[in-house]
Structure 1
Amino acid sequence: MGSPDVIGKSMNETHKPVLNWRITLLLTIISLIGIVGAVCIDVSGSSRIPDLTARKTLQMGIGIIFLVCIYSFDYQKLKKYSDQIFFLLLFMNAFILINSPMINGVKGYLALGPFSINMLYSSVILFLLALAGMKPIKEMNWIYSILHTFYRGVFPLLLITYVGNSVLYGVIYAAGYMVMMWLTKRDVKQLAIVTMIPTVALLYFTMPHFSILKERFMQFMQPIEDNAYLQMKSMEAIQSAGWFGQGFASSNPGLGYVQSDSLFPYLIYCFGWFFGLITIVLIGVFLGYIVQLLFQVKESYGRQLIFVVLFFFTIRFAWPILMSFGFLPFVGMELPFIGYGGTNQWIDLSAIGLVLSIYRRKNMIPTATFSSSHLSSSKS
């Protein structure tokens, strides 16, 4: 078989931990765009948040610490605790949502000293990541399938949409849940049952918000200055930018929530269409590299975790960009890594740390049997 030294060096090279430098580099560049945006806002005095650059840098620094810790952690150890994590998330959300005050029309903020964590935002992706490691419903009989449909599909929606007063996060969780069920389905009949029940539940929990949703939909379909202010001002800022913008830290008093929801149109206003196009390309390439990992990682649990992160960030990137151009309604959602986001940056950077951890160990874990037709989960 050859020299033991040569074989040993070859195996060490094949199975040693690796870092995906392309994702890391793109994450750094996208994050720096966010820092530049914070500096522009501070200099122009466009935000009501004092010392925005210092705050964003601090939040990002804490998030990077989380990223490094999770990158160094063996993600496979999480799988056996998926059921406990899911139950703990349900319990924590129930306790926090019932006892927390309403802030900006939404409940679920957990105060930790000087920091305030949006539990609804954090829980959506954490719920979906926990689902990836739980026993697939296809391996259960019909009675347990229906019980777990309520447990995994309806209860989180009850907390997020009805108690937490957030239709947006509820829709994101419902969409992620249905995709996860599709990837681990037994047959079409079972899929119809386990997705129909949460869909009906979501519609029921949304009924108290129907009049507001109808009003916002009509504002989106027929935008007039008085009833679609943010949408109109965002489009005006982009249209007036030109290819190279109005200049560094240009002031645009018409843009609201410039540190979060309106940061992307503000950056285009300052630096131009060319800068906006480059940012969109960078985000697209970043997501494209995560898609590549789905084909490079063969272990089923790792693939499902990557899929959840990809699904979550695709929505989080696409919606703020499309709403800036008037293609989607304005909602409270900022670009990951670019918008201020507060402690949400901890979750975003932690999720990328998980992706890098999976890639790091892709050559160290024996390839499991994998069906190319879907991301089937191995037995718990």
Structure 2
Amino acid sequence: MNQCVANFIDRVLGQVKYKKAHRIIQEELQNHIEELTETHISDGMSEDEAVKKAVRKMGDPIAIGKQLHNTHKPKTEWSIIILLGSIVLFGLYIMFQYSQITTHSFNFKRQIIFVVAGAFLTLILYFVDFVGFEKYSLPIYYSVCLLLLVITFFGSDTYGRAAIVLGGFSITPSFVAIPVLLISYSGLIRRWCDGTPRNLLKLVLSSLLPLILIFMEPSLMFSCILGAGFAIMVTYGVVSKSFKGNRKKTLFILYGGLISFILITLLYTYIYVPYRFKVLTMFANPWRDPQGSGWMNIMLHKIQSSSQFIGMSKEMMSSDTKELTLPCSETDCVFTFVVGQFGWLFGVVLLGLLGLIIIRLFMASNKVRNEYGKLLGVGICCVFSIQVIIHILSNLNLFPLTGISLPFISYGGQNYLLNMALIGMLLGIYRRKDISFKQEEKSIESLN
């Protein structure tokens, strides 16, 4: 490198405190100076004169460095952190009240442990540079699929699910695998989502393998949630500028195949597993079996319809046993517990907080300039928001009861840590949202 150019770049980098941005800034400055130098040489200047003029034309290195420092210094999305803290405190309050009503006082104590562990996990992931994982996407994908395969067939059976048992704790592999699969699949989309039929087939097949393994765990709903996340991520890849194929045709094939698969699955269930089909559709008319599979849906309806604006529903407690009438009040039906125990005002506030954090998550993801980071952010937002939507809809009898917890509100460690990890990952991606070659070029050109 020419000494004049090296001195200029060193003075620029001296103003940029974020060291990880130095390499990309150096490359872009060097490329920009080389382009100017070639232009001056074509005008008849000697190489030495052309370089010096190109450097002079770049402008004040101190001013450039200060602007690039402001562009690249790590950013924190404080609105997400504030909303997350509010929802976590809301959830702790709900668990505290639940522990006062029931004999399960240990639930609240354990939930505090989950919150502390989740906060540490979020903090750790906040400082991780996830964009650096893109080049390792395929090895990461193979590793997590192999892990799922081994645990599914050789892991311990815990409450009917394959799991890893460490000491007194059991870990369900899908909760660990989902964030890692989002990291790897984002890279596979970047690699293979180019419009060619062969690579499109690779994308589809590479999504099916982990979904089948998670389904075999068995974890049907998380397989469906992750599958929906994959579909939206691929859709984003197809509509992006880097896609070279026929967008409408590709999306038609993808969603046509997906809808066909869902319809065939429902038809198969209706014909060969009628009981399961009955359970899946019971939310539409639970009075068909009020003492059987429709009982839970009827209880949800009774509690919500008798709930007040503020205060407890008369259907919340049994008049005979003085206990909660609704099973799973702290997990699968926690939204109904909130409405029934505290009133619709609390329910609306909770919906507002969850809606706001979902909006802020998608907005933060959209601001990420690196395509891989943005794609990963979209996947994270989808997996998180789909859990919220399914839980709320199923509690409102608009969707089958699926056993999906409400993030940060329902009791449970693994689900809590999963969603804390997702938020931490997105905050980590947002922290480096401005590091991209295209943004660098714009920053430099704006000073010329």
TM-score by length of 1: 0.84
Q: Does residue 96 of the first structure (1) align with residue 151 of the second (2)?
A: yes
Question: Pairwise mapping of residues 48-63 of structure 1 onto structure 2 (< 5 A)?
Answer: 51-63=106-118
Q: Are the equivalent residues in 1 in contact too, given 2:193–2:199 (CA < 8 A)?
A: no
Q: Tell me what 1:40 maps to.
A: 97
Name which structure has the greater RCO, CA cutoff 8 Å, separation 6+.
1
The 1-side partners of 2:121 and 2:404 are apart by 22
1:173-217 deviations in Å (ceiling 9; x for gaps) = 332222222222333445555666677777788857843431213
The 2-side partners of 1:300 and 1:132 are apart by 9
Give 3-state SS (helix, strand or coil) of 1:116's partner.
strand
- Cα deviation for residue 9 of structure 1 reads 4.8
Q: Are the equivalent residues in 2 in contact too, given 1:17–1:364 (CA < 8 A)?
A: no
Distance 1:14 1:256, change over 3 A: same
Pick the aligned partner of 1:350 from 421, 438, 443.
421
Q: Tell me what 2:445 maps to.
A: none
Distance 1:294 1:280, change over 3 A: same
1:232-282 deviations in Å (ceiling 9; x for gaps) = 2223222333111229x9775211112211111112222211111011011
Q: Tell me what 2:46 maps to.
A: none
The 1-side partners of 2:197 and 2:306 are apart by 58
Give 3-state SS (helix, strand or coil) of 1:109's partner.
strand
Q: Does residue 30 of the first structure (1) align with residue 30 of the second (2)?
A: no
The 2-side partners of 1:8 and 1:171 are apart by 47
Q: Tell me what 2:53 maps to.
A: none
The 2-side partners of 1:14 and 1:331 are apart by 45
The 2-side partners of 1:329 and 1:183 are apart by 28
Question: Pairwise mapping of residues 60-71 of structure 1 onto structure 2 (< 5 A)?
Answer: 60-71=115-126
- Cα deviation for residue 312 of structure 1 reads 0.9
Q: Tell me what 2:220 maps to.
A: 167
Q: Are the equivalent residues in 2 in contact too, given 1:108–1:120 (CA < 8 A)?
A: no
Give 3-state SS (helix, strand or coil) of 2:329's partner.
coil
For 2:132, the aligned partner's letter is: K
1:23-67 deviations in Å (ceiling 9; x for gaps) = 0000001011111111112111164xx611111111121111111
Distance 1:229 1:73, change over 3 A: same
The 1-side partners of 2:277 and 2:260 are apart by 18
Q: Does residue 129 of the first structure (1) align with residue 178 of the second (2)?
A: no
Q: Are the equivalent residues in 2 in contact too, given 1:31–1:337 (CA < 8 A)?
A: yes
Give 3-state SS (helix, strand or coil) of 1:321's partner.
helix
The 1-side partners of 2:79 and 2:391 are apart by 24
Q: Tell me what 2:162 maps to.
A: 108
Pick the aligned partner of 2:174 from 120, 123, 135.
120
Give 3-state SS (helix, strand or coil) of 1:51's partner.
helix
Which moves more between the two structures, 81-90 or 224-233? 224-233
The 2-side partners of 1:272 and 1:18 are apart by 38
- Cα deviation for residue 145 of structure 1 reads 4.0
Give 3-state SS (helix, strand or coil) of 1:110's partner.
strand
- Cα deviation for residue 219 of structure 1 reads 1.8
- Cα deviation for residue 169 of structure 1 reads 2.3
- Cα deviation for residue 7 of structure 1 reads 6.1
For 1:25, the aligned partner's letter is: I
Q: Tell me what 2:398 maps to.
A: 327
Q: Tell me what 1:336 maps to.
A: 407
Which protein is richer in helix relative to its size? 2
Q: Unaligned stretches of 5+ in structure 2?
A: 1-57, 239-244, 441-448
Question: Pairwise mapping of residues 166-245 of structure 1 onto structure 2 (< 5 A)?
Answer: 166-185=219-238, 186-187=245-246, 188-191=248-251, 210-224=273-287, 225-226=290-291, 227-245=293-311
1:325-359 deviations in Å (ceiling 9; x for gaps) = 21111111111111113222112111111111121
Corresponding residue pairs, total: 363
The 1-side partners of 2:255 and 2:175 are apart by 22
Q: Are the equivalent residues in 2 in contact too, given 1:124–1:172 (CA < 8 A)?
A: no
Q: Percent identity?
A: 24
Pick the aligned partner of 2:328 from 228, 247, 257.
257
Q: Are the equivalent residues in 1 in contact too, given 2:156–2:164 (CA < 8 A)?
A: no
Q: Unaligned stretches of 5+ in structure 1?
A: 370-380
The 2-side partners of 1:136 and 1:196 are apart by 23
The 1-side partners of 2:337 and 2:363 are apart by 32
For 2:284, the aligned partner's letter is: M
**RMSD between superposed Cα atoms in Å:** 3.0
The 1-side partners of 2:338 and 2:402 are apart by 18
For 1:327, the aligned partner's letter is: L
TM-score by length of 2: 0.72
The 2-side partners of 1:149 and 1:141 are apart by 13
Distance 1:124 1:350, change over 3 A: closer
Q: Are the equivalent residues in 2 in contact too, given 1:181–1:195 (CA < 8 A)?
A: no
Pick the aligned partner of 2:373 from 272, 291, 302.
302
The 2-side partners of 1:212 and 1:125 are apart by 33
Q: Are the equivalent residues in 2 in contact too, given 1:260–1:335 (CA < 8 A)?
A: yes
The 2-side partners of 1:338 and 1:236 are apart by 22
Pick the aligned partner of 1:73 from 114, 125, 128.
128
- Cα deviation for residue 167 of structure 1 reads 2.7
